[in-house]
Amino acid sequence: MEPALRETVTQREQSMVLNDVNMLYHIYATVPPKTQRLMLELQRDNHVEYLLRGLQHLGPSFCSLDAKICCKPFFWHITLCRPWICYWILHSIALLGESVDATLEDKTIDFLSCCQDPDGGYGGGPGQMPHLATTYAAVNALISLGGDRSLTSINRDKMYMFLKRMKDPSGAFRMHDAGEIDVRACYTAVSVARILNILDDELVHNIGNYILSCQTYEGGISGEPGSEAHGGYTFCGLAAMILINEADRLDLPALIDWVVFRQGVEGGFQGRTNKLVDGCYSFWQGGIFALLQRFHSIIGERPTLVDAGGADCSIDSIQTTAESDLSEDEESSDGTSSQDDEACHFQHGGSQEASCSVNDKSAEMGPLYHSIALQRYILICSQDPGGGLKDKPRKPKDYYHTCYCLSGLSVCQHSWLKDEDSSPLPRAVLGPYSNVLEPIHPVFNIVLDRYQEAHEFFTRS
């Protein structure tokens, strides 16, 4: 008799997550319709209160956060938190359509100015070494605030010199002086340079070759050559290639296939193969589809979905299947969208396969993600009704996951729009239509109107 296979730690953890998620979905399916609508409602006021509470403690108390908050190795380090916290909070507030008062705005600008190094770039706090990750966070935070005082506080001349110092002879960038070289350094450097209108041929030189060397056999992009494909690095790699107009050099069909199969049966995304679902990848993985759908320069024209039977599945023809008590393809009197499923969504989850043909290349891009399932995961499994969002059930809420869960929710609601100034269709929004967030510029993850203000400001200055 063959010995029984031992369950691995990952398998046990996956079973726990599935049980937690299934329990929440079962509760949702069995409660009265009014309670269902409440479970699918974005708790805006509570989220804003939670975020403002965090931003109002930018003084000495933030020192204690240096070694406590930052636990994600992808973008930051334990000493690099404070500009990130400013960005996560300010961007989340902007996504919710709110703003901070003048006093708090001035304090935030003053604090970030103290983090700006005399020789360019931003450190994790006053007097700390400038670092590309916190430079990206500080610049995005200041743009999220908006206004002349915020934007003029960025020393662009010194910033350009800092970016030049971080440029490696290989073409890639280092995160800091004598620091590591990886794809996030390339993205943060190019993102900052592009939005500040200081990107030139010298900064762009050979970045594309480095990022190409990081695309793995799986189709995703790793942090450095020879490493495992990762959702955060895949977003960074693709976004950087878009910014330097070299996205068509990537194997896009393979990239799409890898990303789409990171969406699990829970509805959310995992960051790597055989890893657990995590709410932050709602943006890092889900945002990749927004990049491909919005930026025509990547593929020449907008992708057209074709289902397994050959029918057009573009946004205008997607039909929804209601799984709730609401009538099909209509909006209820309380503003709750009737959509609870889509005809065109990913195959491994028990649904119909869709493929994406790309202009004259006729390349199959693989199935697109299930937007409604992702929104369901964010609202039911990641949302803390008292304010803030989190990784998954049993995890605590934090500003990082609040930022990227809300960014992912915005992407779900807006990414299929042909006109970025249009409002989402009710069937694209799960829950009441009041759930709709502000649209973002998916390359920079900045609310669209704040991006436009910064773009105009730095173009004329």
Q: Taking CA 145 as the corner, what is the angle to CA 293 and CA 102, rounded to the nearest 5 degrees?
A: 155
**Average pLDDT of span 54-60:** 68
Q: What angle in degrees, to the nearest 10, is found between the helix axes of 82-95 and 399-414?
A: 40
- pLDDT of res. 313: 30
> Over 70: is that where the pLDDT of 257 sits?
yes
The pLDDT assigned to 7 comes to: 86
Average pLDDT over residues 304-314: 32
- Active site members: 230, 272, 275, 278, 280-281, 391, 398, 401
| pLDDT value at 198 more than 80 | yes
Residues 64-93, mean pLDDT to the nearest whole number: 66
- 222, pLDDT greater than 60: yes
Cβ–Cβ < 8 Å for 17, 393: yes
Distance in angstroms (rounded) separating the CA atoms of residues 418 and 356: 16
pLDDT band at 1 (very low <50, low <70, confident <90, very high): low
Whether the predicted pLDDT of 389 surpasses 70? yes
pLDDT of residue 421: 72
Q: How many helices (H) and strands (E) does the chain have?
A: 19, 6
Instruction: Give the integer Cα–Cα distance in Å for 376 and 369.
Output: 13
Distance CA 37, CA 27 (A): 13
Predicted local confidence at residue 417, as pLDDT: 74
Mean pLDDT confidence for 132-160: 98
**Contacts with 318 (C-beta within 8 Å, 6 or more apart), sequence order:** 305, 342, 343, 344, 427
> What is the structure's pLDDT at 324?
35
Residue 274 has what pLDDT? 92
Check pLDDT > 80 for residue 332: no
Does the pLDDT value for residue 271 go beyond 60?
A: yes
Quick one: tokens of 119?
């020789």
Confidence of residue 295 (pLDDT cuts 50, 70, 90): low
pLDDT, tens digit (0-9, with 9 covering 90-100), for 86-125: 999 999 999 999 999 999 999 999 999 999 999 999 999 9
**Is residue 302 scored above 60 in pLDDT?**
no
The mean-pLDDT minimum among 22-36, 55-69, 159-173, 399-413 falls in: 55-69
In the predicted structure, residue 314 carries a pLDDT above the cut 70: no
Q: Tell me what pLDDT residue 74 has.
A: 56
Residue 76 in this model has a pLDDT that exceeds 80: no
Residue by residue, DSSP assigns 81-115 as: -HHHHHHHHHHHHHHTT----HHHHHHHHHHHHHH
Mean pLDDT, the chain, rounded, equals 83
